[in-house]
Amino acid sequence: MAGTTWRMGGVEWLLLVALGLLWGWTYFFGKLALAELGPLTLVLGRVGIAALALDLCVWAAGHRLPRALRAWGAFALLGALNNLIPFSLIFWGQTRIASGLAAILNASTPLFTAVLAHLLTRDERLTPGRLAGVLLGLGGVALMVGPAALAGLGREVTAQLAVLAGAVSFALAGIFGRRFRHLPPLVTAAGQVSASSVMALPIALAVERPWGRTPPGLVTWGALLGLGLACTALAYVLYFRILATAGATNLLLVTLLIPVSAVLLGTALLGEPLEPGHVAGMALIGAGLAAIDGRPLALAWARLRRASVAARAVLR
């Protein structure tokens, strides 16, 4: 894709914020569902519900899924990188480490994406401003979650590595997913989760044998529906829309917004307190995103230069 011009305009930023809001619910719904379901069964339920919803939407919209075997092989690889591998690793990691620590580790996704895109593509280069912005954002996530989440950093190393591996998988998926930009986002999202469902079914049945468990209750079913319909079906339509115009590095900045979304949702809906550390962390994330975007800093610098010129003119 040499020569491709990726843009991060106002529409893309709005869609990115919307995607961050949707994915802010993932850890909440995941914790509820993991009380009664195994990680692999939860992944199967999540992508299965999303596949059913998106396939119906594709049919209703008059689109068609590709029939070529090569296309479905690509969907399978995308589904493995974007759903099956990271969902399984992160949900499994959540059973052993705190959600706050998992959020910090998952927020490393933009850093992995920036480095891998620089190495694997010709049109998404790693610049000093982008690197500084990503590191600022990652620091903001750590500040938001608080030092208590880092207390277990030296324990359950395998679970922490699993979450980091999930972040790398998300990064690779974003880079690989660029090749689907010629398809409608709805079709790409449907193909991805449909392939993921087919792959997840035998794995979940063989490893966890969910038929031997107590049937899930209403809370678990509600969490599954939330994960499948909002956090997966709708979210991935937005995901592929952003990816088609903004590129992988810009798209996966969304993982810096997920903790912000989770905190704000907790404050608005659950009455959880908004701590000074939350506000400071959000400000740091905002500064990081501004550094990555470049336009706010360029505008501020231009205004500063104009003010300096005007001041010198007055002094003369």
Say how many domains are in the chain.
1
Whether residue 70 contacts residue 255, with contact meaning beta carbons closer than 8 Å, is answered with no
Nearest to 259 by CA among 85, 42, 28, 9: 28
* Residue 308 pLDDT: 67
Establish if 31 belongs to a structural domain: yes
Q: Is residue 1 part of a domain?
A: no
pLDDT higher than 80, residue 293: no
Question: Which range among 66-70, 106-110, 184-188 shows the weakest confidence by mean pLDDT?
Answer: 106-110
Of residues 69 and 128, which shows the higher confidence score? 69
Exposure string (b/e) for 75-92, b if CB count within 10 Å is 16 or more? bbbbbbbbbbbbbbbbbb
**189: nearest Cα among 177, 172, 176:** 177
pLDDT higher at 75 or 307: 75
Asked if the structure places residue 5 within a domain, the reply is no
In angstroms, rounded to a whole number, what is the distance separating the alpha carbons of residues 158 and 155?
A: 9
Residue 4 domain flag: no
In a domain, 3, yes or no: no
Query: How far apart are alpha carbons 299 and 311 in whole angstroms?
Result: 18
pLDDT tens column, 223-269: 999 999 999 999 999 999 999 999 998 999 999 898 888 888 778 87
Q: Is 192 exposed, middle or buried (0-12, 13-18, 19+ CB in 10 A)?
A: buried
How does residue 129 score in pLDDT terms, banded at 50, 70 and 90? confident
Q: Has residue 135 been placed in a domain? A: yes
Tell me what the mean pLDDT of segment 268-272 comes to: 74
In a domain, 23, yes or no: yes
Q: Would 40 be classed as within a structural domain?
A: yes
The domain of 204 spans: 10-315
